[in-house]
Structure 1
Amino acid sequence: MRLGLFDGGRLGLVRGASVLDISAFAGEPGPAGRLDALVRRGITEIPNEVVASASALSIDDVVWDAPLPRPGKIIGAPANYYDHVDEMPDTATILDWGFFLKAGSSVIGNGGTVEIPYTDVPTHYEGELAVVIGTGGRDIALDDAWNHVFGYTCLMDITIRSSEDRSTRKSFDTFTPLGPTVVTADEVGNAGDLMLRLDVNGVQKQSSSTSKLIYGIPELIAYASSVTTLEPGDVIATGTPAGVGPIVNGDVVTVTIDTVGTLRVDVSDRRAIPHADRPGPRTALHR
């Protein structure tokens, strides 16, 4: 199945060139939206009678929202491709760093706008495959990890290159574009060998396969769940390959992943300020 939120939070099931409105089946949305509610209910297929009675829209007329607008947790995998490690200032990998968390409020959907926060600190793109957890748990065994995946979506882990902690540098509002839809695990097939490509203004910047991950999807799930209980609707960003670079005002960024889809965002610096003018340094008391 290919599922997403559209036109202000309605739940859509993609069938060919149509989107079937199955919002009523999902019920009233919580803070994390109707798709999250479906995942938490353990729904892995839509009944035939729901599909037959759903109203259909042309996929060209649908405006996609973020499929999971407020995930409970967004877990990030730093330095999880060796070719990306090679372009970093040190040689540490996910084996050294562990994982980090991003704020759920940083999520935006397809067609949204990434807002650069600072005029004098670079903001970088990072294209990634995201795993949506279906069945949660603690201490998930490696050989059982695939059974805890609901599906997959495209993600951009937008990052500023400054001295702050990773979770700060990656948690600004608009810094986690997600979508446009979630494709269930059965439809994706082998997520351990998917091609990923990121373009800026139509120029390829990143291209790699998830087969080159240091921690593959089962390892990420097993490791993360050894630290924190995974819950339905949590998102694991699997890491980014080589080719990371800056984005500036007016850029258009797309990430495309085989069988999963294409996510597109714009970039704006309309809210950017000098890094030294951020609230902390001006108001904090110094000893």
Structure 2
Amino acid sequence: MRLALFNKGRLGLVDGEDLVDVTDLLAPSTTTPSGALHQYIELVDRGGAQQFDLSGRARVPLAQAVLDAPLPRPGKIVGAPVNYLDHKAEMQYSTSIADLGVFLKANSSVIGPGQDIVLPYSDKRTDQEGELGVVIGRTASRVRAEDALDYVFGYTCVLDITVRSGEDRSTRKSFDTFTPVGPWVVTADEIPDPDALELRCDVAGETRQRANTADLIFGVRQLIAYTSSVMALHPGDVIATGTPAGVGPLAHGDRVVVDIEQVGRLEVGVDGSQAIPYEQRPGR
């Protein structure tokens, strides 16, 4: 299944060129910032999975729907630094994820399809990093790599936006709007091998990144096993699996597109109209 949030928080199942509204099939609950899909993932974890009967349900053409981030406020976003050898080479890093471990991004940095990345600084390079996102479906603590995919709910497209400045990774990657996610979440049964997916990222109509997740240093299984050895993963958490070579600066007016085989196509804009000189940042 492909599950999306649309039109201010409705939960939709993608069926051909339509979104079928299945919001009322969730267990009754109040609206929360985490969103209806997050609630559904938790419902499934509690054993409440159900088949969707689409007959007679309201449909909205995808072309007319306003898609939101499928997980507007995940419990946590885990990043995988330097997880492709070609990215390690282009950035001239001497270390990789095997040395660095993982990092956390603020969940307030999430935006959805069609929204804008807001550049904070006019004189510091801000790069795009296209990545496969893994959505956790069950609480995972110290799981074995061979069992890791049993803990996955699904997959999505992620952009890990990064300022090239001197602060810690979590700061440079946690500005508001710095984690576009979407356009939906594809359930794990649709993707038998997440370590064999073609990924492409275009900026301003030109392809900057093209890779296969087979080239990950820590593949999806190993990444879940490693991360869960450090911190418990909970339903709705997102792991951004790392970016390949081809990162580069964003400019006002750019369109950024991440396209991942079997997952989907995420497109966002870039707004530099509010950028300030780095030396004028608060705290200087």
TM-score range, shorter chain: over 0.9
Aligned to 1:183: 186
Deviations 1:4-32 (A, max 9, x none): 10010100001111110011112443220
Amino acid paired to 1:16: G
Runs of at least 5 residues in structure 1 that lack an aligned partner in the other structure: 282-287
Cα distance between partner residues in 2 of 1:192 and 1:76: 17
User: Which residue number in structure 1 is paired with residue 143 of structure 2?
Assistant: 140
**Which stretch of the first structure deviates more once superposed, 172-181 or 263-272?**
263-272
1:91 aligns with 2:94: yes
C-alpha distance in structure 2 between counterparts of 1:198 and 1:32, whole Å: 27
* 1:78/1:98 contact within 8 Å kept: yes
Question: TM-score normalised to the size of structure 2?
Answer: 0.96
Residues 1:211 and 2:217 are matched in the alignment: no
Matched residues, number = 280
Seen in structure 2, the aligned counterparts of structure 1 residues 48 and 158 have a Cα distance that, compared at 3 Å, is closer
Say if 1:48 and 1:3 are closer, same or farther in 2 by CA, change over 3 A. Answer: closer
Q: How does 1:247-266 map to 2 (within 5 A)?
A: 247-266=250-269
Name the TM-score, length of structure 1 as normaliser.
0.95
Correspondence for 2:235:
232
Percent identity at matched positions?
52
Tell me the secondary structure at the aligned position of residue 104 of structure 2.
strand
Take 1:18 and 1:189, find their aligned partners in 2: how far apart are those partners?
A: 25
Is 1:39 aligned to residue 41 of structure 2?
A: yes
Deviation, structure 1 residue 273 = 0.6
8 Å contact from structure 1 (residues 29, 37) kept in 2: no
2: CA distance between counterparts of 1:239 and 1:139? 21
Unaligned 5+ runs, structure 2: none
- The equivalent residue for 1:285 is none
Runs of 4 or more above 4 Å deviation = 43-46
Q: CA deviation at 1:90?
A: 2.2
SS at match of 1:121: coil
1:14 aligns with 2:14: yes
RMSD: 1.2
Residue pair 2:34, 2:71 contacting (<8 A) in 1 also: yes
Which one-letter code corresponds to 1:7 in the other structure? N
Greater mean alpha carbon deviation, residues 147-156 or residues 86-95: 86-95
Match in the other structure for 1:169: 172
